[in-house]
Amino acid sequence: MKKNLVIVESPTKAHTIQTFLGKNYCVVSSYGHIIDLPEKEIGVKIQENFKPNYVILPKKKQIVQNLKKLIKNYEIIWLASDEDREGEAIAYQIYKIFNIPDKKYRRIVFHEITKKAILHAIKNPRLIDYNLVYAQQTRRIIDRLVGFQLSPILWKKIKTGLSAGRVQSVAVRLIVEQEKKIQDFIPYPVYQINGIFTNSEQKIILNAKLEKKIENKKEMKNILSSCINSTFTVKKTTIKQEKKSPPLPFTTSSLQQEACHKLNYSISKTMLLAQKLYEKGFITYIRTDSTSLSKTILLDIKNYILSLYGTKYLSIKKKYIKKKNSLKKLTVRFILLLLILKKII
């Protein structure tokens, strides 16, 4: 029997990791999820506490057969899917479908595809995080419950073939509520005061604007009247140095916004390019709001700046904002939403 089988999500990622680990490891891909709710039925047993009815995806049957043969022939199975809800669910699916004994599997995660990060993950395996698994299952169940009930309405009222889910439905509601506000809005006049300041030669030296928008006409006239015959003088001119810090590392949303603003890229194009960069090991994982950076890369950047420019141009910023307890809050919200849906249905 062979020793180590590593299962990742992406075939491109599998090829890269294989070069790091060498002959003692066999790295293969699950090509994403291998099971899901059935396509043509709701797939959720509402009366049985929202129990999902998972089936093997038709396109993944051959992959499942191949994985089944491989898993039997290896002593240790390394589940190396991504460290998000979907990745944790994929690891759980493989563990469950193939009945892998607890002693036989190792769950490993890494935030960058570098040799150092992969080897560090192998030295520090963990168990499957069931909070993440339940969060993904809950998200999928809510998508299905909402989608199966709302999509037929979209087909009748808007266009055949449209699909609705948990995110789209909320977005539609927000749009409708905003449209109602627009329709109910009654226009009213507001006044904005602008000032032009000149010097003795009547040259414009400053355009100023009162930030406060005034709704009362009488108040506006009083402000203007107080400015008549007034003499404006410059009392003090201050010159000071300002320190500008480098921008924070990108999160998913800030990356998309900047790519759209600077390069006019669509969200799909941005994420596709970012995924390719991640799979080749050039950037950290992009589908997360974590701002942690590779220590190896930071050290390389530091040495490069020191060798090329010197200590004068080296400034390391270590403190980044972290979102604490976001997973815990998200899981609790999903559970509450399930309870509400159960009462409604």
Contact 109, 127 (CB under 8 A): no
**Residue recorded with tokens 């089944």:** 68
CA 111 to chain centre: 14
Q: Where are the beta strands (DSSP E) in the chain?
A: 2-8, 25-29, 35-36, 44-45, 51-52, 55-56, 74-79, 105-107, 194-198, 204-209
**Residue recorded with tokens 């220590």:** 295
105 given a catalytic annotation: no
| Phi (first) and psi of residue 75, to 5 degrees | -75, -45
- CA geometry: angle 9, 116, 14, nearest 5 deg: 20
Q: 168-180 burial, b for 16+ CB within 10 Å, e for fewer?
A: bbeeeeeeeeeee
Query: Cα(223)–Cα(181) distance, rounded to whole angstroms?
Result: 32
Considering 134, 285, 309, 320, which one is annotated as catalytic? 285
Query: Cα(310)–Cα(313) distance, rounded to whole angstroms?
Result: 6
What's the start-to-end Cα distance of the chain, in Å?
Answer: 51
Contact 279, 315 (CB under 8 A): no
Query: Cα(137)–Cα(127) distance, rounded to whole angstroms?
Result: 18
Widest distance between CA atoms in the chain = 96
What type of residue is 82?
D
Give catalytic residues, as residue numbers.
285
